[in-house]
Structure 1
Amino acid sequence: MKKIIFASLVPNVGKTSLTIALSKNTKKKIAYMKPLGDRMRYSHKKLWDYDADLIQSTLKMEVEPQDMTLGFEHSKLRYMYDEYTLKEKLNNQIEEFEKNHDVLIIEGANYLTHGASIGMSALRLAKLTEAELVIILRGNADTIMDELTFIKYNIVETGVNFKGVILNQIHDMEDIKSEEVCDTIKKLGIKVFGIIPYESNLKTLLLKQIADDLLATPLCAEHHVYKYIKNIYIGSMSLNEVMKKEYLSKKDKLLIVSGDRSDIIVASIETEASGIVLTNNIIPPNNIIANANEKNIPLLLTREDTFTVAKKIDKMEALLFKSDEEKFNIFAKLVKQHVDIKALLE
């Protein structure tokens, strides 16, 4: 069984998405594990990693999500494993996967140094499991060249089984394929398995994620949060100004507004907003809630002020959900077109 570790220098480069896309583009049976979790979920007295749960569901793996991850907190893992017991635990899991799978993808944590103090960084895991290390990069041409140079002199020369990189979420494909970048790659001798262009549809936030990340309380239509949000507006101005700017005529919109702005809330409901985030912990009148519920428009109540909520949403990185079949297919097509899958998996 081939073993690959997907690692990254920074968070949110698409390691989990790439695993799903590869599974859709090969006949090989892919297994997955994420030793150090970084997106903890808790239910029914069980802890698991969000990405592991997504992969388990998408790849229809028999192993439970909580068994794909050794833990989350450094303080606990530090006393649970030393180098010997960690290697033994990892190899036991790998032996189980070997029985029914052709490829095992081990996802490193958020960034390259995460877990280093407990022996669970991506580099250390690569040595412990004797897996091939593939690093996912994103950014502009200058960033990519900096990171490739860093990899050459700080990773390749450490003796880890480094195989190459995949460039993902690339905005300017011409720039990244310029003579300067190509010469740098050739000079460094680093294998590039693929260059995947940026696709805006993959970065669209789901209302469900916004609700979860804000820890918002749904006042109505809580089962209608699986909607993509493409336009986000703050209802801080007068209704006349809002109508003049035609904000409410946009589709797939989310309004962030204080719960006492009944005029804006009613107008948003009438123009079929995808959802409304109510700030300042102010609940609107019951008739407004009933109207929103009738039209399947979630009203999400938060304690924080409008500015703070808007700032949090602006910083959110779109996560994949089990219902995101459209996004899965879009990215799978991009990977098929732009990545040498055969070279990567064989």
Structure 2
Amino acid sequence: MAKSAKYLLIGSIEPYSGKSAVALGLAYQLKNRGFDVAYGKPLGTDMDGAPDGGGDADFQFIAQTLGLSESHLRPPVVMLDDATIDQHLHHPDSAGYRRELAGYRERTGGDCVLLEGPGTLQEGSLFDLSPIRIAEVLDAAVMLVVRFDSQRFLDELLSARERLGDRLLGIVVNDLTPEHSETLQTRVQPFLESHGIPILGLLPRHALLRSVTVGELARQLDAQVACGRERLDLMVESLSVGAMNVSSAMKYFSQSHNMAVVTGGDRRDIQMAALEQSTHCLILTGQLPPDPMVIARAEELEIPILCADLDTLTTVEIIDRAFGRVRLHEASKVECIAQIMAEHFDLSRLLEMTGWEAIAPANLA
């Protein structure tokens, strides 16, 4: 069975494109169609937040979420951390890594294996484990997950098509905004299809998938939790900055949903106003402790308050980077991506292109 397993490498041309989300959503689709699905991640990149303090956090989360046995997992061959890189520079062993990768084929679980690739087509080259090399070793087809911010990404995709050749089945456009949708479907998609780059899915932007927990914000800001420690699992979907008068702030805050409000520690008026809106977190800057009255009201409403030892501009920049670049480690996000993939991904076309129809369960043949 192991020799007949089919591999699909899910890669990207830039980091934080949504590979983990697409892999998880596709796995659910395949499992629902009766396929025996396995999952792997040859290069470990997410060392923060792993439950056991080691390994790749995304790999462990997806394995647990899908309920996969050890035989259905292809764990990282190498972790891309400074220690491993330093060791490799002293004692290069690319051949050893490739042999370990080839060992994936000896595992018996799964008739179709979804592999989550590195963040770019270059990542892993130091170990001779770039996505292109991984695909060659495992005879894997490749599907790229991309974000469409402008038509400038066409150069990257044409280059990827040239480098990957016939292994590139197509792409999934993730986090697609309404303002970009028409341009992509009327001009970009026909162009890509004519150049041998089919679009297998157009996944619309969803606020929940771009959200971040209060706890993750606290970690990234290295902030102190003044109150609400038991509610750090609240999801933040938007950011508001309270730097105006209260009247303007109330109108501004009313337009946001599940927001984090960043304001100076001395702006008690703004803080109290924010607590009465759809606020999931107050983030105070300026190295001033929150007023007892604000803490009392926040505790009453169960809204966390974070104190960041940073200026407002730096705080806002860090939070802006956090949106859309966080782990898919909440049950609500898993349900969301499963639904989006079911509605906006062409599974039938993928099965036809991969040849996986031939290994379809009997009830689907």
TM-score interval for Structure 1 and Structure 2 normalised by the shorter chain: 0.7 to 0.9
Moved more, 258-267 or 32-41: 258-267
Aligned pairs for 1:1-346 (under 5 A) are 1-27=5-31, 28-41=35-48, 46-63=53-70, 67-68=75-76, 70-73=78-81, 74-78=85-89, 82-96=93-107, 99-139=108-148, 142-156=151-165, 161-171=167-177, 172-178=180-186, 181-186=189-194, 188-243=195-250, 245-247=251-253, 251-271=257-277, 273-318=279-324, 319-325=326-332, 327-345=333-351, 346=356
> Residues 40 and 74 of structure 2 are in contact (CA less than 8 Å); yes or no, is this contact kept in structure 1?
no
Alpha-carbon deviations, 1:7-35, whole Å to 9, x = none?
Answer: 11111221100111112212223222222
How many residue pairs are counted as aligned between the two chains?
338
Alpha-carbon distance change, 106 to 290 in structure 1, aligned in 2, over 3 angstroms: same
> Residues 71 and 77 of structure 1 are in contact (CA less than 8 Å); yes or no, is this contact kept in structure 2?
no
- Kindly state the Cα deviation for residue 298 of structure 1 after the two structures are TM-superposed: 0.6
Secondary structure of the corresponding residue to residue 13 of structure 1: coil
> Residues 8 and 112 of structure 1 are in contact (CA less than 8 Å); yes or no, is this contact kept in structure 2?
yes
> Residues 141 and 169 of structure 2 are in contact (CA less than 8 Å); yes or no, is this contact kept in structure 1?
yes
- Kindly state the Cα deviation for residue 278 of structure 1 after the two structures are TM-superposed: 1.8
Tell me which amino acid in the other structure corresponds to 1:16.
S
Alpha-carbon deviations, 1:208-251, whole Å to 9, x = none?
Answer: 332232222222211212233344222233445534x4526854
CA distance in 2 between partners of 1:203 and 1:295 (Å): 24
Q: Which runs of no fewer than 5 residues in structure 1 stay unpaired?
A: none
CA distance in 1 between partners of 2:110 and 2:278 (Å): 47
Alpha-carbon deviations, 1:154-174, whole Å to 9, x = none?
Answer: 331xxx733332233333333
CA distance in 1 between partners of 2:277 and 2:187 (Å): 50
Tell me which amino acid in the other structure corresponds to 1:182.
P
CA distance in 2 between partners of 1:125 and 1:199 (Å): 31
Secondary structure of the corresponding residue to residue 343 of structure 2: helix
Secondary structure of the corresponding residue to residue 155 of structure 1: helix
Tell me which amino acid in the other structure corresponds to 1:333.
Q
Q: Which runs of no fewer than 5 residues in structure 2 stay unpaired?
A: 357-365
TM-score (norm: length of structure 2): 0.80
Percent of aligned pairs with the same residue? Answer: 23
RMSD: 3.0
Alpha-carbon distance change, 13 to 266 in structure 1, aligned in 2, over 3 angstroms: same
Secondary structure of the corresponding residue to residue 40 of structure 1: coil
Alpha-carbon distance change, 200 to 297 in structure 1, aligned in 2, over 3 angstroms: closer
TM-score (norm: length of structure 1): 0.84
- Kindly state the Cα deviation for residue 124 of structure 1 after the two structures are TM-superposed: 1.7
CA distance in 1 between partners of 2:73 and 2:302 (Å): 32
Tell me which amino acid in the other structure corresponds to 1:234.
V
CA distance in 2 between partners of 1:308 and 1:294 (Å): 29
